[in-house]
Structure 1
Amino acid sequence: MACHPFPQTTAYVRIIAQSWQEGHIRGYVCAGEYQWEFCWQFKAKKLHICPALGRALIKEPLGRFLEAQDYQLEPGGDYEFVIRAKF
């Protein structure tokens, strides 16, 4: 019996702004053929993503990534993470 790996897509994140005083990180994320702009309000643990097209695909995995990495992310930085789904 052959072993089939999980489908996966790499998401690429670019941080464009960060404010510890205001409690947010802004950036872009793209995965597959989709691209979104996001604002992670880490003090309130709220994630806003635009546009709405495909938002349901990225919101949960991006939120997990940002919660785990928010203190290590810097403006101008490029990051990536793997999503266990094919976009």
Structure 2
Amino acid sequence: MSYNRLPKTTAHVRVTQQSWQQGTIEGEVIAGSYAWQFQWCFKRGQLAIEPSSGRALIQEPLGRFLEKWDYQLEPGGDYSFTIRAEL
């Protein structure tokens, strides 16, 4: 199977809160028929995602996205990234 034929899903991220003092970014992510709330504690490198249903599908790709872009994300901002899977 070629790389171009892999399934893709766009994940949409909205940042709702950010605290540089606490080292956290909070928001929501929607991909396919799933929706989650997340809290990224970038000072500790910890990502919490709720609800648990489908969490395994988003944990790794969301974590990579947040690690790459966390200092450029702003509250109220809408962002997206592609997951190489069909959700």
Runs of 4 or more consecutive aligned structure 1 residues displaced over 2 Å after TM superposition: none
Give the deviation of 1:63 after TM superposition.
0.1
Q: Percent same amino acid at aligned positions?
A: 60
Name the CA distance, whole Å, in 1 between partners of 2:31 and 2:38: 13
SS in 2 for 1:44: coil
Name the CA distance, whole Å, in 1 between partners of 2:55 and 2:5: 25
Structure 1's unaligned 5+ residue stretches are none
Matched with 2:16 is: 16
**Cα distance per residue 1:36-86 (max 9 Å; x no partner):** 000000000000000000000000000000000000000000000000000
Corresponding residue pairs, total: 86
Matched with 1:79 is: 79
Name the CA distance, whole Å, in 2 between partners of 1:82 and 1:73: 17
Matches within 5 A, 1:1-87: 5-87=5-87
- Give TM-score scaled by structure 2 length: 0.96
RMSD: 1.3
